[in-house]
């Protein structure tokens, strides 16, 4: 048993000053109370005890990309983010051939069986390949690909139920079928890299699309087409209370005012903060690759964000979720409870694991981040096991 004490406990509904928490095995056994006899004492020395962060959208870190086609790469990235407070992660792919996607799925399944050092692997997030060439951003989309039911079923079968989300541009052909297949398999269909009008987005929401990927980025808003003005995906998502969104929280992709507007309209229960991090996250690299090392997109890291070499587009972030917390709470002024919810409980719900992860509650997994009073990570526990301890 471990008894944490001497800090501020960030609970779902309040911050408990001088709070304490007991870890029993891999679960949270008690909140509050006194130290049980024989329990190891963890004194957080005036810092914070938070639920572990959950990253729904992340391509890599620590010099590795999840699509490098080796289990070691997946473990390296999961460990790199774990050191920054991420206790559960959803590896994200990039637009690629079906063959490359199948290779990634095989390596993911192998890594999940043996992962023992980093963040828990919650499932697979497929970002693409069914995207708009107009709003591709840094995605390597050379031609629009249209989904076929047999191809979707093949990928989902190979993944053995591990795909939990699949992104697509809903204005493309066959997207009603795409949404139906996702529903049949319990996969979250999300709008991404799209040139859809608000009307097309609203129709997609009727079909079953219910989440919007990296909201504001590679996405339509108020615009003109052939001398006629249209609203975009952003307005349609704001008007639909059942649609959830995610925001890249690196302080570069989404300005303060835009994040605060999203929070005011959607609320913390409908927003997940993400990194969209590439392999350069957690490193000092200034030149990197988005996607597989042997065939990905070359990028440069400038102004603390990844960009295409011609600087025409951002290409993912180099952030970790502890930095996202500091941006949202310290720089943007979002209250800690709301920031914590967007980092943990909301992404847990969107991943289908909120009954066991995402908040400090008795009976849930002991996924815990201990931070200093300046919000620097000092300890990380995954299911009660100490996975990272900062050097003194």
- The candidate with the shortest Cα–Cα distance to 291, out of 72, 55, 73, is 73
The C-alpha atoms of residue 330 and residue 345 are separated, in whole angstroms, by 20
3-state secondary structure 366-377: CCEEEECCCCCE
- The candidate with the shortest Cα–Cα distance to 347, out of 272, 276, 274, is 272
Query: What is the model's pLDDT at position 113?
Result: 87
Q: With beta carbons less than 8 A apart as the criterion, state whether 120 and 88 touch.
A: yes
Task: For the chain, report the end-to-end CA distance as a whole number of angstroms.
Answer: 23
Determine whether 286 is exposed, middle or buried from the number of CB atoms within 10 Å of its CB (0-12, 13-18, 19+).
Answer: exposed
**How many DSSP H helices and E strands does the chain contain?**
10, 24
Cβ neighbours for 239, distance < 8 A, ≥ 6 positions apart: none
C-alpha distances out from residue 193 to 56, 171, 360, Å: 17, 11, 35
Query: What is the model's pLDDT at position 294?
Result: 85
Q: With beta carbons less than 8 A apart as the criterion, state whether 11 and 348 touch.
A: no
Cis check for the bond before 129: say yes or no (omega within 30 of 0).
Answer: yes
The C-alpha atoms of residue 157 and residue 363 are separated, in whole angstroms, by 33
Instruction: Please tell me the pTM assigned to this model.
Output: 0.95
Q: With beta carbons less than 8 A apart as the criterion, state whether 29 and 69 touch.
A: no
Q: Which residues pair with 305 in a beta bridge?
A: 302
The C-alpha atoms of residue 210 and residue 189 are separated, in whole angstroms, by 7
Q: With beta carbons less than 8 A apart as the criterion, state whether 378 and 47 touch.
A: yes
The C-alpha atoms of residue 110 and residue 316 are separated, in whole angstroms, by 26
Query: What is the model's pLDDT at position 115?
Result: 66
Q: With beta carbons less than 8 A apart as the criterion, state whether 366 and 383 touch.
A: yes
Angle at 179 between CA 176 and CA 181, to 5 degrees: 110
Query: What is the model's pLDDT at position 139?
Result: 81
Q: What is the mean pLDDT of each run of 10 residues along the chain (392 residues)?
A: 95 94 96 90 95 97 93 92 97 92 94 83 95 83 87 97 97 97 98 95 98 95 87 97 98 97 98 97 92 87 91 91 98 98 98 98 98 97 94 74
């Amino acid at each position: 048993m471990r008894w944490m004490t001497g800090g501020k406990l960030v609970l779902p509904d309040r911050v408990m000053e001088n709070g304490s928490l007991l870890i029993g095995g891999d679960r949270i056994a008690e909140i509050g109370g006194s130290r049980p006899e024989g329990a190891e004492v963890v004194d957080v020395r005036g810092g914070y005890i938070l639920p572990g962060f959950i990253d729904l959208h992340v391509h890599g870190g620590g010099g590795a990309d999840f699509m490098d086609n080796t289990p070691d790469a997946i473990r390296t990235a999961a460990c790199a983010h774990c050191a920054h407070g991420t206790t559960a992660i959803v590896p994200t792919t990039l637009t690629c051939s079906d063959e490359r996607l199948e290779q990634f799925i095989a390596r993911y399944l192998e890594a999940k069986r043996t992962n023992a050092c980093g963040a828990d692997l919650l499932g697979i997030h497929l970002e693409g390949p069914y995207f708009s060439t107009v709003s591709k951003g840094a995605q390597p989309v050379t031609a629009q690909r249209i989904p076929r039911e047999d191809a979707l079923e093949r990928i989902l079968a190979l993944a053995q139920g591990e795909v939990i989300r699949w992104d697509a541009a809903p204005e493309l052909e066959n997207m009603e079928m795409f949404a139906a297949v996702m529903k049949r398999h319990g996969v979250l269909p999300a709008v991404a890299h799209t040139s859809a009008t608000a009307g097309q987005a609203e129709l997609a929401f009727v079909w079953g699309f219910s989440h919007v990927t990296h909201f504001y980025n590679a996405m339509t808003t108020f615009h003109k087409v052939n001398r006629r003005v249209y609203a975009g995906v952003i307005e349609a998502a704001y008007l639909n209370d059942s649609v959830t969104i995610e925001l890249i929280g690196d302080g570069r992709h989404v300005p303060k005012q835009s994040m605060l507007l999203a929070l005011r309209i959607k609320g913390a229960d409908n927003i997940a903060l993400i990194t969209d991090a590439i392999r350069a996250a957690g490193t000092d690299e200034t030149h990197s690759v988005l996607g597989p090392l042997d065939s990905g997109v070359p990028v440069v890291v400038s102004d603390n964000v990844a960009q295409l070499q011609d600087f025409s587009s951002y290409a993912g972030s180099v952030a970790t979720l502890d930095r996202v917390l500091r941006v949202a709470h310290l720089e943007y002024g979002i209250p800690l409870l709301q920031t914590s919810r967007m980092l943990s409980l909301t992404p847990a719900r969107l991943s289908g694991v909120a009954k066991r992860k995402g908040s400090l509650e008795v009976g849930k997994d002991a996924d815990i981040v201990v931070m200093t009073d300046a919000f620097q990570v000092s300890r990380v526990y995954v299911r009660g096991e100490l996975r990272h301890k900062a050097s003194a």
